[in-house]
Structure formats: C-alpha cells, structure tokens
Amino acid sequence: MNNLSRALAVTLMAATIPATIVLAQQATPADQPPVSEKSETQRGPSPETIARLQDGRVAMAKTALKLSPDQETLWAPVEAKIRAGFDERRKAREAWQAKREERRAEKKAEGQDGKKGDKLALPERIEKRSERLTARAAKLTEQAAKSKEFAEVLKPLYASFSEEQKAVAGRVLSHFGQDGRGPRGNRWAMGGKRGHGGHDRGRF
C-alpha cells in the first residue's frame, strides 16, 4: 500500500467511528419492539440513522480532500448534487417498499380466496420479460443522465485539485456519480468497488 492509500485509509476509518456508534445505539432500544415484531419495511436503520450516515459520508469525502478556502466554494454545488442523489434514492426505496407490500397483500388475498393465479402462456411470459428489460433500460438511461450531470458539476472543482487531491477524489467521489449511492465502508477507503446488487433494499 502506498503512502497516499495508507493515509486515506486511516483518515476514513477514523471518520467512520461516529457512524459505527450511531448504529450501535440504534440496535434494539428498550422503547422499541424486537426486530421480529417489526414489519419488513421497518427493518434496518431508521431514516434518521440513514441521514446521519449520509452526512458522515459527505464529511468523510470533504475531510479526505483537504479543500482550500477557494475550493470550498466550488465544493458547494457538488455536495448539493450528492445530497439530491441521496434524496432520490430515499424516494425510490420508499416506492419499492410500498410496491412490495402491495404485492404481498395481493398474494395474501388470493390465498384467502383459495385462488391461484393462472400460469401465463409462453407468449405472455416473453412479453413480461420484455417489459422488465425495457424498464431496466429506461432506468439505466436515467442513471447515465444523472452521472453526466454530476460530472458537469464536478469539473470546476476537479480542475482546481492538486495531483494528490485528484488521486483522493478518484477514491472518494467516483461512486457518488452512480445514482447517489456513495461509497461504503472500508472498501471505499481502499478503492474497492460496490458489490453486485438488485433492488434498493434499505441501502443508503
């Protein structure tokens, strides 16, 4: 590990300590029901905890970059775009959870009526698959547009960076251009990439 990687890892791991404490305090408080009694949509960190962790990610990136006073001004629109991405993911997460609960309610109603949905014929199954692929393509196009917007906002700040700051930015900012996800955990500090994932199931 080179000196830059080592210094960056130490800085970011130290900055994650407050977030770890937040999660520890969040775990099954006395005035909340056990996890087994919570609904599926309530599992995982609360919206308030997620917001604090997102604040921590922004703070970690800013700390690692060691911005000058002049760069602070250029950082403002970048941070605004990052936080807008967080908000978009929150809305997408809530929509996905609502849709999941709706599907579960429909299946439960079918079970109570003693009915089972008829198996789709091959043409209908192919048509459904085509619809899913079309929706996925539309989502990718939307994500590509958002990544381009983030790149445009980032350009003025990046142009002001020293070579060391550019190296750090490659590790702490690149993931923010991917649908607002942001980096996660120590793999972020080491330059690792996000693992495979499907729907947004409580991610932040």
Rounded to whole angstroms, what are the CA distances from 39 to 14, 35, 148?
A: 34, 8, 37
Q: What is the pLDDT of residue 176?
A: 84
- Other C-beta atoms closer than 10 Å to the C-beta of 81 total 19
Q: Alpha carbon of 132 to those of 26, 129, 154: distances in Å?
A: 37, 5, 33
Domain borders along the chain are 3-25+40-108+128-189
For residue 5, the model assigns a pLDDT of 62
Give the pLDDT score at 93: 85
Q: Residue 6: what pLDDT?
A: 64
The whole-number mean pLDDT for each consecutive block of 10 residues of the chain, a chain of 204 residues, reads 61 54 47 47 75 92 96 96 91 87 82 62 93 94 93 96 96 76 42 42 42
Amino acid 116: pLDDT: 52
Residue in this structure with the two tokens 């003693």, named with its chain if needed: 114
Residue 167, number of CB atoms within 10 A of its CB? 15
